[in-house]
Each structure stands twice: as structure tokens, then as C-alpha cells.
Amino acid sequence: MKIVRFLHEGQAHWGHLEGNQVRFLAQEPFSGLAYTDEAASLKSGTLLAPCLPGKIVCAGKNYYDHAVEMGEGVPKEPILFMKTPNTIANPEDTISAPDFVDQVDYEGELAVVIGRKASKISASEVENYIFGYTVLNDVTARKIQKGDGQWSRGKCMDGFCPMGPWIETELDASNLALETRLNGKVVQSGNTCQLMTGIPAMLEHITACITLEVGDVVATGTPAGIGPMVSGDVVEVEIEGIGVLRNTMA
């Protein structure tokens, strides 16, 4: 099932996408779907980021090949960092950065959307807390990230977290192909089966000390092939079973 946030006639709606029709929901979908009597063609509006998380908890260097390409060693346990709500951007939004930033990189990732408040959960029960999955681009000001020595500024600039195009709620995320394309050329190709810390263990690790609230997002890491975007570049992140997230660099 595809759950969307949909801008229609100037108003944002939660919706259930069925084919090319969006059935409007009366409220947030996390506790169950309550439909209104309204529907609209997908072409009649604009897809928005499919949720509005209070926080985005991200796994760094969670694919072996990416850890190697970063040249800083392979972590012995998950590296966590945050992206803040100001980073959230919609499918098809333009990615921009302040003038002082001279390198902006793409990082295609699978993202987990949390459906129930989760604290100190075990790996065996995480499916009870997952609402669904979406596609995320962990846009990064790479030189800022490295120069600062900690990642907040390089990861948390406005609009640096495009998400979408929707949340897929019926998906086994353990073996999904992930591909990032820059102007149509494949630059990243991986599979979620390559995650060094899989989703169950990752959520157990996070919630041991950080409570995840309903609607929060966990970004699971990016495979090798990260690289810069320049003005006019079109970046597409596609994940099997979900869809394509597309954005353009300003």
C-alpha cells in the first residue's frame, strides 16, 4: 500500500495512492486508515515528502564498500547521526546550498518510517514498530562535513533530505536493489542485503538510548559511489518495490 502526502488545490492531504488516484485520508495514517469521501487524480496535484518526522536518525558507513571508499576505516558498531526537520524536501524539489558550499554530494538510501513509539525494543519485535519504507537522499556538503570534524552542519542544511515519492507499507526490506542515477548514469548500485547492520539490529541499537516517535525516520546508509552534484544535475534514487525519488540541483 502506498501512502502519500499530496498537495491538492493549495492544501496538503494524507492519502492512499491506488493506481493514479489518491484517496484522501481524514487523519495521519499511523493508527489506521480513515478515508474521507474525496479523491483526486495524481496528476491534479503534487507529491510532498511522505511524512514529517520530528527527527531523522541516520546510519553512517553501513555498507562495507562505502566505508572503504570514505577511507576512514570500517566501523565496529553502527555510527549514528541526525538530520533535522529543516532538511526535509519533497520529490521533484530543487536542491540548493548556500554560496559558501562548493561540494554537494548525493547519497541514496532506504528509509524506515516508524509507526509506533519505540523505546528499548528488541530486534525480534521491530516489525511491530515499522509503518513502512521510503526513499531518501542524504544530501551532504562533503567538505563542510569533513572540515568541521562532526557532521551536523554538513548534513543539516535546509532541504538536504529529499524523501519520497511515498511510503510503501507492504514490503520485505531485507533484499531490495538500490540504484542512484546522475543525469541517467548509474553511480550507485547496491542491495539492502549488504547492510552491515540490518534494520532489526539497527532499530534495537537506536532505541536502546533514543526513543523513536511515530513518524520518525531511520535512514539505513548508502552504498559506494557517492559523488558531487553540480547545477542542473538530475539525481534519481530508485529502490526496488518502492519507486523513484527525483530531484534537480540548483
Note the pLDDT tens digit of each residue in 35-87. 999 999 999 999 999 999 999 999 999 999 898 888 878 889 999 999 999 99
Q: Contact at 8 Å (CB) between 4 and 47?
A: yes
Mean pLDDT of 203-207: 98
pLDDT at 166: 98
Quick one: cell of 55? Answer: 527527527
What is d(CA 34, CA 29) in angstroms, rounded to the nearest whole number?
A: 8
- Side-chain-side CA neighbours of 164 within 13 Å: the count stands at 21
pLDDT bracket for residue 12 (50, 70, 90): very high
Beta bridge pairs of residue 62: none
DSSP at 92: T
Question: What pLDDT, on a 0 to 100 scale, did the predictor assign at position 71?
Answer: 81
pLDDT for 65 equals 87
76 CB neighbour count, 10 Å cutoff: 7
Count of beta carbons in the 10 Å neighbourhood of residue 158: 14
Residue-wise pLDDT tens digits, 116-144? 999 999 999 999 999 999 999 999 999 99
DSSP code at position 63: B
According to the model, what pLDDT value does residue 44 have? 98
Cell of 132: 513502512
pTM above 0.85, yes or no: yes
Pinpoint the alpha helices (H) of 72-209: 142-148, 152-155, 199-207
- Predicted pLDDT at 135: 99
* Residue 6: band (very low, low, confident or very high) from pLDDT cuts 50, 70, 90: very high
Helix, strand or coil for residue 209? coil
d(CA 233, CA 250): 8
Q: Measuring CA to CA, which residue among 165, 184, 186 is closest to residue 241? A: 165
Q: Which amino acid is at 87?
A: T
Task: Kindly indicate the confidence band of residue 2, based on its pLDDT and cuts at 50, 70 and 90.
Answer: very high
CA distance 133 to 218: 9
- With beta carbons less than 8 A apart as the criterion, state whether 61 and 221 touch: yes
- Residue of 165, 108, 155 lying closest to 136 (CA atoms): 108
**Across the chain, what does the average pLDDT equal?**
97
Q: What is the dihedral of CA 169, 171, 172, 174, to 10 degrees?
A: -90
Condensed to tens digits (0 to 9), the pLDDT of residues 131-182 reads 999 999 999 999 999 999 999 999 999 999 999 999 999 999 999 999 999 9
Q: The domain at 56-249 falls in which architecture?
A: Alpha-Beta Complex (3.90)
Grid cell at residue 219 = 535512514
Strand partners, 101: none
Tell me the percentage of the chain whose pLDDT exceeds 70: 100
The gap from C-alpha 184 to its chain's centroid, in whole angstroms, comes to 20
Q: What are the sequence ranges of the domains in the chain?
A: 2-48, 56-249
Give the distance from CA 157 to its chain's centroid.
15
Cα–Cα distances (Å) from 56 to 35, 41, 165, 236, 244, in that order, read 28, 30, 17, 20, 20
**pLDDT at site 74:** 87
CATH architecture of 2-48: Roll (2.30)
Arithmetic mean of pLDDT, 184-196: 97
